[in-house]
Structure 1
């Protein structure tokens, strides 16, 4: 009987579930636990006590709202849904497949499922000028700081006697990236102005790390989302921006793919004008390029110039896809504005 993986003994944790494994396979943060009772997934993560309580609340609240496509949690023999051991928090789930039994498009399924969650939890918040002002100033200052660092690296590169392949590649696209940064800031100002004009702000339950990697399939072939550890109440744009910035890196991505996915989401919730501007501003800012510069400074000893250049070129190509996609988002007709178009639900304790 094996109760360990990479030297960690999971026996005491699994004992809380009266589970005695015959074998444990390491799949990153998820451990595949095989026993006479069946096959399970033990998730190993880091959460504070407050984060654990929120995580469990989110899963239970979604079930109360009628959403049952979350990978279920198994309680311990004491009725707890998480087990704390050492520096980690653990929870147990059924072992579901990452691959669909049928010919499904995983990105479409993810958008469909998050659209349902957003629709169920949609709420019009009381407009707060202070919150909007803070969000605007925080993002603008962060982006201007990023932009300054990118400009500084361009100046350093130009002073090099022998320019590295990475620096040469970066400089050849620098002005294009600066235009994207300026456009992102303009769109953020548009969001800010419309928010003040319309005096409205909507929130939903955001998954927090939305991607096709967090979609699994039950033994019946039904799609289920997992990994709600970073779930938060925020604008729906938060999930969409995170999802699309990852999706554009896929080799199958096309402009038509993006439009189809966005329209699929809109069947659940139609983004308002200011939400579209916020989404476009988030996606347009060349944050991935800034991250490539950070990696070049901090990890170039761990990667070859070819690896660094390839990573940079892929991110530049992805930013081009995003630019086209953003044009399509802003060109679509805006939803009608009935007097009462928002979800009338509970107040601050909706989730």
Structure 2
């Protein structure tokens, strides 16, 4: 049986008080300092990438990445019963306003992306083929949605979930049109580019992984990997829709905060728009409802669908707001008139 005290001994920490904050997090005090001990989800296959984060943070002096303490044997973690534990400073979260929290978060991840940004070789033809396939799948999803709406409207009494889908439909029509437009523009841009950028990405961005105390810290890098930075940014923006609808002016401010540190090219803005507009989760929920609607209560189904719709709506608002130097900010409908 693993004991927290035995793990702390590896760091030379003699705890005065140990408080279990969550299933995997402990707040530890030795009477002089306060620490956070994390029982991580790291595995033998992921621990090397996690260690690389802290080597990068040290080499590039990335103060945004919350540091981890070294053990007395100069290791970044302790292993016990096939689990990985690591120790960090305990950062009290003195949050400013909600708007300031989000701006600080966008600036923080923008700085990490910018300072770890590097050119990577890509197979342009393979990427174009991938997005062309995605474009075709979206067309299939749109036709499936049309059939679902027709099926629901034929019901004499629609369930709340079915009514919700029909109510959302006019917005989804715009989403699919915008998505098709931006995939086409992204492919056009990519055909003339020869460089692709990757950055150190957090992999699980949400406001709960930021701490604000004199500066902004970003913690829990257990899913970190090198990827395109818009993947990280889209996850953060999607996470914001869980509790609040972001107004267009807020979206503009958030992107400006990020862009000050890591300006995105036109192709990258199209790519971000594609990620934000992705309707696959929304369509998958309808598929699941059709297949086994008894899997969840009706209240739960409607909550899940509304959360998926809020994500898509954010993407549509961003598409209408974003500026593209190729003059492609007009919607697909406008370009056809």
Q: Same fold judged by TM-score > 0.5?
A: yes
**Is 1:261 aligned to 2:250, yes or no?**
no
User: Secondary structure of 1:275's partner?
Assistant: helix
Conservation of the 8 A alpha-carbon contact between 2:2 and 2:80: no
After superposition, the C-alpha distances for 1:69-95 in whole angstroms (9 at most, x for unaligned) are 211101122221112223432111111
Distance in 2, Cα, partners of 1:59 & 1:150: 45
Correspondent of 2:9 among 12, 15, 25: 15
CA contact (8 A) 1:118 1:205 kept: yes
The 2-side partners of 1:191 and 1:290 are apart by: 23
Match 1:174 to one of 148, 155, 169: 169
**Match for residue 215 of structure 2?**
222
Moved more, 204-213 or 107-116: 204-213
User: Structure 1 length normalisation: TM-score?
Assistant: 0.79
Q: Unaligned regions of 5+ residues in structure 1, if any?
A: 1-6, 335-351
Please say if residues 234 and 276 of structure 2, whose CA atoms lie closer than 8 Å, have aligned partners that are also in contact.
yes
TM-score (norm 2): 0.82
Query: Does the CA contact (< 8 Å) of 1:277 and 1:330 recur in 2?
Result: no
Q: Name the structure 1 match of 2:86.
A: 91
Query: Contact (CA 8 Å) 2:241, 2:310: kept in 1 or not?
Result: no
Give how far 1:237 is off: 1.0
SS of match in other structure, 2:200: strand
Q: Post-superposition shift, 1:235?
A: 1.6
1:47 & 1:261 partners in 2: Cα distance?
31
1:1-351 to 2 correspondences below 5 Å:
9-21=3-15, 22-100=17-95, 105-133=100-128, 135-136=130-131, 139-140=134-135, 143=138, 150=145, 153-154=148-149, 157=152, 162-218=157-213, 221-251=214-244, 253-290=246-283, 292-293=285-286, 296=289, 303-330=296-323
The CA RMSD over aligned residues, in Å, is 3.2
Q: Residues 104 and 187 of structure 1: is their aligned pair in 2 closer, same or farther, counting only changes over 3 Å?
A: closer
- The alignment of Structure 1 onto Structure 2 pairs a total of residues equal to 326
- Greater displacement, 167-176 / 101-110: 101-110
CA contact (8 A) 1:16 1:77 kept: yes
